[in-house]
Structure 1
Amino acid sequence: MDDFLLQAVIYLSAAVLCVPIAKRLGLSSVLGYIIAGMIIGPYILGLIGQKGKDVMHFAEFGVVMMLFLIGLELEPKKFWRLRRFIVGMGLFQVILSSALLFAGMYYVLGWDMNVSIAVSLTLSLSSTAIVLQILGEKNLSNTTAGRSSFAVLLFQDIAVIPILAMIPFLAADDIENTVSQSIISNLAPWLQVLIVIGAIGGIALAGKFVISPALRWVAKARLQELFTASALLLVVGVSYLMQIIGLSPALGAFLSGVVLANSEFRHELEGDIAPFKGLLLGLFFIGVGASVNFPLVLDQPLFILASVASLMLVKFIVLFALGKLYSKSLDQNLIFAFIMCQAGEFGFVILSFASQLNIIPLEISDQMMAVIALSMFLTPFLFLFNDMFLLPQVGTKTANEESAEIPDDIDDNEVIIAGFGHFGSTVSRLLHANNISMTILDHDSERVDILRKMGYKVFYGDATRLELLKAAHASKAKLFIACVDNPEVNLKMAEIVRKNFPNLKIMVRARNRIDAYNFIDIGIDNYYRETLYTAVHLGVDALTSLGMRRYTATRQGYKFIKYDTHTTQKLSKKRHDQKAYFDTLRNEINMQEDILKTDLYVFKSSEKWVDELDE
């Protein structure tokens, strides 16, 4: 136990120190974790070694969680709509890259066929973490290069499942040891197939008729930690089911994610699992960095560097040819090829799995891990070279280039509305009537269930949680509207959104002037006081009932709101000084009434003059 805690402290300390430095240098967090592992590994500081295996077994569960989140993002309807681009470009890229790499390993290097197959499939995948980070930082997500990269990455993420499933069949003599843990391994082959198909079908049915109702029941308790525990139980339970029937736990996690992709709990599940996934994957990549065999790399520097160059050149050629096939402009094609030509983090997962099954010799595994890490490390620098030297020679990137390749993500809506009670539903109906796309978040599971049956795209979740806002793509929205009935919750949401999404405009519901002061303090000017607008509306109707013209009464009401809003801004600065506050309040009320009376006198005089002209 003491060794486990010490190793955990070392892992976490290395991550906390190295990852922020990597981010400051413009590198991927994945590279930060790998570098941290290299430093604390047995070949540099020697802080971890065989004793770190307990932590690594725990951290490998992060891969399972990552596949669950990939499945959760894969809405079947969205995938079917984009099938021509995802399957077309993605399939061609994986097949062509794997074929060329296999030819080099099998015919040039003389490696064993099974080793060549496993390594070529491993290196054909690109780094989702690095590519999406660069696309986001460079504002390239909506270009044709960005959309094509997303399509290929999505296919690669899905392709990991069959790759992991077929790896054990390359193990030759060790295949019996691989499946001996399965409770169905001694049954007849036809019965094993039926059980496997039944288990997969059972997961699909359970998602709709068991898991979703169970999550609704848990959500009624309104305990965040209970819902988080349920999310973890879901991933662990389905993964364990797949394992005991002889399939990969990752396959179970992926399938359960796909089943729940259309659920109202999708964003909440993603928000709950993401922190665990991020932490465990971070520990996994630290372990990968620690396993890089530096003495071997230093003994064979030319082979390692030549392998990195060959890998990136082969993938660049394949990607560039695909871009030409899909009629990309030269500048977009260069971006697409440069940003995708590295190996990816899933390569570490597949190499580790293949090494455990003794498919890949330890020496080759160490070499290829070094190749993957170096290719990922070089990608930001190659992209910078392309940006500074090549693109100026061939044209300018067009961030808003029109293309029918991949339509905008249906979840990347212009508006996010938090709270779908009477207030929020009124706002949303008005926006929807004017063809505004929205993502709606609400923390009442029963209301969410009812509204989804009515056709609204509502998701269950607590919008004060940053993970949920990220899952709802707040970074891509234009407007965030806080409509929750509790002013403290609205204030907390406004603070989180303003801090983490500074470009997102915020409009917020406030009950009264006191709530407005709090929003003003954090820099929110677009607050809407219920008591003010409702009271003014009632006052306008009262004036109309007493004989004033509707237009005149409405005009006076809008002027009252304008002057009162100005007064609120002034009073917010003095509310902590009671004497100054009330002196200012009295002066402002008197001044406001005088101005309104003067405006009314002038306006009525003009109305009277117009009436006399009409006569």
Structure 2
Amino acid sequence: MASPAEHASFLPPVLTFLSAAVIGVPLFRLAGQSAVLGYLVAGVLIGPSGLSLIAEPETAASVAEIGVVLLLFIVGLELHLSQLVSMRRDIFGLGTLQLVLCALVLGGAGLLAGIGLGASAVIGIALALSATAVALQLLEERGDLGTAYGSRAFAVLLFQDLAVVGILALMPLLASAGGGGNAPWLGDAALSTAKALGAIVAVVLVGRYGLNPFFRLLAASGAREVMTAAALLVVLGTALLMQEVGLSMAMGAFLAGILLAESNFRHQLEADIEPFRGMLLGLFFMSVGMSIDGALVKAVWPALFGATAAAILVKVALVAALFRLFGSGPLDALRGAAVLAPAGEFAFVLLPQAEGLGLTDATSTRFAVALAALTMLVGPVAAKGLDKALDALRARSSDPDLPATDVIESAETRVLVIGFGRFGQILTQVLLAEGIAVTVIDKDVEQIRSASRFGFRIYYGDGTRLDVLRAAGIGRAELVCICIDDAEAALKIVDIVHEEFESVRTYVRAYDRMHAVELMSRDVDFQLRETSESALQFGRATLEGLGLPAEAAAARVEDVRKRDIARLVLQQAGALPEGSGWLRGAAPAELKPEPLTAPQRPARALNAETRDIIGHDRREAAERLLERPARDPEAGAEGDEAAVAEAALERADARRE
């Protein structure tokens, strides 16, 4: 059994990483820079080239790769197979041209510098690849992942991840050609391809037919922590399988995300994964900073910094030109090129493997690795500077780029409905009939199953969680309809929405009269007691059944509705005795039902049991009726109550407008 001292030995590096992130990232954010740069600089400072606070940076790097894996999983959740098909021109056309042209130009520069053909090819390809983690983090910070240029940038990154498989298979061919050997590279490549295809087919089949029933079973248990564990199991298990067959872990996680993009549990999974993704991705950036060889930088810094600037400028120029060729505006083309300029994570995989195959020597490998790391360090600064310059240019331009088209599915949602019970089902029928885009969240598995026939988006999730609301796209919705029958949970959701999403209007189902008063005190845009309108319509039908003309019955119901609204407003304002707790800020007393029209006679008990029940309350009721006009003159006359109701309705209409 491990001793307490052995357990404690894990704490110093963990505390070092946490301290570096807590100190470094806020400082760079305050300076107007990207969080990525903060992580990278923090890694340089705590790594071997800085204060040497981390003894084994390689261990940290292997753990940090999980951050990239989780990032690609979340990106996959935001896409659908139909969207990937629509992006095929950008993925295979733009992606191919970017990789080939950048590799040729950067590899040609290596040849001019006196490096051999094989080494130049590998270094050119490694530098032509882009940093998926850096690019997606920059796009996420800008909020541009769903824009036209963000979509094109992601298509290029996706093609690069696919191309890495072929690159790794061709490297033995380059090594055998350079050495004149007869390595059986063709058979190995065919075997690797067969394994990869078999693994992909297996993952697709399991994801298509097994994941939804699996998560449905876990959700029915009600154990939320088990759902989190299951999400991590799916992501990391798929990533490990892909790595075992020669594909990248990130590619496997992306495939898992794509398979779950249509799942009802998508938003809950995203919310569960997000905290792990953020911390581990920060650790990945710090591990990149730690990988920079300080001794090499000091020895050849002029050549290294010059090569870094040249590599970034070359990639920006080539990629911007390709973006323009594929239809992007000039400003969006530059923005897309800037986020793709840093060299990719796979450079740290390809270059050491090339050295092992004899394609590059130790000196060239160290130089290229340091160059790739420096592009990741300088790239976010260049992208931020370019952003500021382009924003200034856009402000002065009389013909700015057209607004980009969102491709993220949740951006289409106009209404977010929380709760798909009886109330929510009727509401969504109305919205569906009008053709309004709706996203529904519910944590009841049976409700989700019954909603599968409706045709709109419905996801498993807890609507009282801020991360679930964000993942569901509440920030892009016009209003949120809270239709759950849990009064406390509804109030919690209202508080979250008002605090975090001020522009989103809140329409709430009130459980009872007291709940309605609480909602009014929170300034919701609209609230309705779940039984009030149905009971009024029932009363109208009853009056008509008793022979009252339809017009007279409707007028009487409308009069009662206005009186009820007037009393509700007075109770909320503390103007009635039972509502005084609201005015003083204390806990409100229970709101007891009171007649809206003065009774013509006292209540009469028709049997002895009833007389025993109501006898002791008769005197108090009579006193309330006698005192009511003096305590509440407005409510004592029908005309005054109607005036109060009209004023309340006008205020409600003004707030909704």
Q: Provide the TM-score with structure 1 as the length reference.
A: 0.82
**Of 269-278 and 90-99, the range deviating more from structure 2:** 90-99
Residue of structure 2 aligned with 1:350, choices 340, 346, 349:
346
More moved, 206-215 vs 453-462: 453-462
Summarize deviations over 1:160-183 as a string: whole Å, max 9, x none.
2432563364367999xxxxxxxx
Residue 232 and residue 131 in structure 1: after superposition, are their counterparts in 2 closer, same or farther (change >3 A)?
Answer: closer
Matched, 1:80 2:60: no
Structure 2: segments with no counterpart, 5+ residues: 1-6, 177-184, 575-581, 593-623, 647-657
Is the Cα–Cα contact under 8 Å of residues 94 and 322 in structure 2 kept in the other structure?
A: yes
Determine the structure 1 residue equivalent to 2:635: 592
Partner of 2:409: 410
Does residue 115 of the first structure (1) align with residue 115 of the second (2)? Answer: no
Which residue of structure 2 lines up, in the alignment, with residue 576 of structure 1?
586
Match of 2:29 among 17, 23, 29: 23
The gaps in structure 1 that reach 5 residues or longer are: 176-184, 604-615
Q: How does 1:291-306 map to 2 (within 5 A)?
A: 291-306=291-306
* Aligned amino acid, residue 353 of structure 2: L
Structure 1 residue 365: Cα displacement = 0.3
Q: Secondary structure at the match of 2:459?
A: strand
Aligned to 2:398: 395
Q: Cα 1:536–1:166, aligned 2, differ >3 Å: closer, same or farther?
A: same
Aligned in 2, Cα 1:93/1:198: closer, same or farther, shift over 3 Å? closer
- Please give the secondary structure, in 2, of the residue aligned with 1:349: coil
Distance 1:124 1:217, change over 3 A: closer
Paired with 1:585 and 1:252, the residues of 2 have a C-alpha distance of: 72
2:482 match: 482
Secondary structure (helix, strand or coil) at the match of 2:509 reads strand
Task: Answer whether contact 2:123 2:368 (CA < 8 A) is retained.
Answer: no
Matches within 5 A, 1:141-160: 146-160=147-161
- SS of residue matched to 2:197: helix
Q: 1:369 corresponds to which residue?
A: 373
Q: Distance in 1 between matches of 2:630 and 2:112?
A: 90
* CA drift at 1:541: 4.3
1:216 matched to which residue of 2?
216
What does 1:145-184 align with in structure 2 at a 5 Å threshold? 146-163=147-164, 166-167=167-168, 169-170=170-171
Question: Helix, strand or coil: the match of 1:262?
Answer: coil
Equivalenced residues, count: 575
Contact kept, 8 Å, 1:320 with 1:334, in 2: the verdict is no
Contact 2:130 2:340 in 1 (8 A): yes
- Displacement of 1:205 in angstroms is 0.9
Question: CA–CA distance in 1 between the matches of 2:590 and 2:511?
Answer: 24
Kindly state the Cα deviation for residue 269 of structure 1 after the two structures are TM-superposed: 1.8
Which of 330, 335, 340 aligns to 2:337? It is: 340
CA contact (8 A) 2:108 2:120 kept: no
Which of the two has higher C-alpha Rg? Answer: 2
Choose between structure 1 and 2 for higher RCO, CA contacts under 8 A separated by at least 6 residues.
1
Distance 1:18 1:302 in 2: 27
Query: What's 2:463 paired with?
Result: 463
Contact 1:479–1:504, Cα closer than 8 Å, also in 2:
yes
* Partner secondary structure for residue 424 of structure 1: helix
Using the alignment, how far apart are the partners of 2:58 and 2:453 within structure 1? 48
Amino acid in structure 2 at the alignment position of 1:421: G
TM-fit CA distance, 1:226: 0.7
- Using the alignment, how far apart are the partners of 1:438 and 1:118 within structure 2? 45
C-alpha offsets along residues 510-563 of structure 1, whole Å, 9 cap, x if unaligned?
212332344355553433322444444444445555636144134324423542
CA 1:468 to 1:154, structure 2 compared with 1: closer, same or farther past 3 Å? farther
What is aligned with 1:382?
A: 386
Residues 53 and 189 of structure 1, relative CA distance in 2, 3 Å threshold: closer
> For residue 609 of structure 1, what is the aligned residue in structure 2?
none
SS in 1 for 2:115: coil
How far 1:189 sits from its partner (Å)? 7.8
User: Match of 1:443, as an amino acid?
Assistant: K
Give the drift of 1:288.
1.4
- Residue 201 in 1 paired to residue 201 in 2? yes
Return the alpha-carbon distance in structure 2 between the equivalents of residues 32 and 240 of structure 1: 29
When residues 167 and 464 of structure 1 are mapped into structure 2, their CA distance, relative to the original with a 3 A threshold, is farther
Deviations 1:21-58 (A, max 9, x none): 333333222222212212222323222232x4444332
Preserved CA contact (<8 Å) 1:30 1:129: no
1:381 maps to a residue whose letter is G
For the 8 Å contact 1:165–1:248, the answer to whether it is kept is no
> Which one is further off, 585-594 or 88-97?
585-594
Secondary structure, aligned partner of 2:410: coil
Query: In 2, are the aligned partners of 1:344 and 1:376 still within 8 Å (CA)?
Result: no
Cα distance in 1 between the residues matched to 2:133 and 2:62? 24
Which residue number in structure 2 is paired with residue 227 of structure 1?
Answer: 227
1:209-358 maps to which residues of 2 (within 5 A)?
A: 209-326=209-326, 332-343=329-340, 347=343, 349-358=345-354
- 1:180 aligned partner: none
The sequence identity of aligned pairs, in percent, is 27
Aligned to 2:101: 96
Q: Check whether the contact 1:94–1:125 (CA below 8 A) recurs between aligned residues.
A: no
| Code of the aligned partner of 1:3 | S
What is the letter of the counterpart of residue 263 of structure 2? S
Q: Residue 315 of structure 1 contacts residue 342 of structure 1 at CA under 8 Å; is this kept in 2?
A: no
Tell me: CA distance 1:220–1:86, structure 2 relative to 1, closer, same or farther (3 Å).
same
Cα RMSD after superposing both structures: 3.6
Structure 1 counterpart SS, 2:345: helix
Give the Cα separation in 1 of the matches to 2:573 and 2:249: 61
1:130 CA drift (Å): 4.7
Displacement, 1:103? Answer: 2.7
Go from structure 1 to structure 2 and tell me whether the alpha carbon gap of 1:5 and 1:559 turns closer, same or farther (over 3 Å shift): same
**How do 1:422-437 and structure 2 match up within 5 A?**
422-437=422-437
Alpha-carbon distance in structure 2 between the residues aligned to 1:59 and 1:538: 63
Distance 1:453 1:585, change over 3 A: farther
> Post-superposition shift, 1:303?
2.9
- Taking a change above 3 Å as real, the CA distance of residues 35 and 509 of structure 1, as seen in their structure-2 partners, is farther
TM (norm. structure 2) is 0.78
Taking the aligned partners of 1:417 and 1:447, their CA distance within structure 2 comes to: 13
How many Å separate the matches in 2 of 1:334 and 1:173? 39
Contact 1:8 1:55 in 2 (8 A): no
How far did residue 217 of structure 1 move?
A: 0.9
Q: Secondary structure at the match of 2:485?
A: coil
Which residue among 560, 566, 569 is the counterpart of 2:569?
566
* Cα offsets for 1:461-513 (capped at 9, x unmatched): 12222332222222222212211121222222222233332322222222123
1:19–1:32: 8 Å Cα contact kept in structure 2?
yes
Q: Secondary structure at the match of 2:333?
A: helix
**45, 48, 56: which one pairs with 1:42?**
48
Change (3 A) 1:26 1:483: farther
Change (3 A) 1:336 1:503: farther
d(CA) in 1 for partners of 2:367 and 2:270? Answer: 38
- Retained in 1: the 8 A contact 2:266–2:459? yes
The superposition leaves residues 565-586 of structure 1 with CA deviations (integer Å, 9 ceiling, x where unpaired) of 4224413334627799999998
User: Which segment is superposed worse, 210-219 or 460-469?
Assistant: 460-469
Q: Determine the C-alpha separation between the residues in 1 that align with 2:238 and 2:407.
A: 32
2:559 is equivalent to residue 556 of structure 1: yes
C-alpha contact (below 8 Å) 2:228/2:272 kept by paired residues: yes
Residue 155 of structure 1 aligns with an amino acid whose one-letter code is V
CA distance in 1, matches of 2:572, 2:333: 50
Question: By how many angstroms is 1:302 displaced?
Answer: 3.3
Distance 1:395-1:263 versus aligned 2 partners, 3 A rule: same
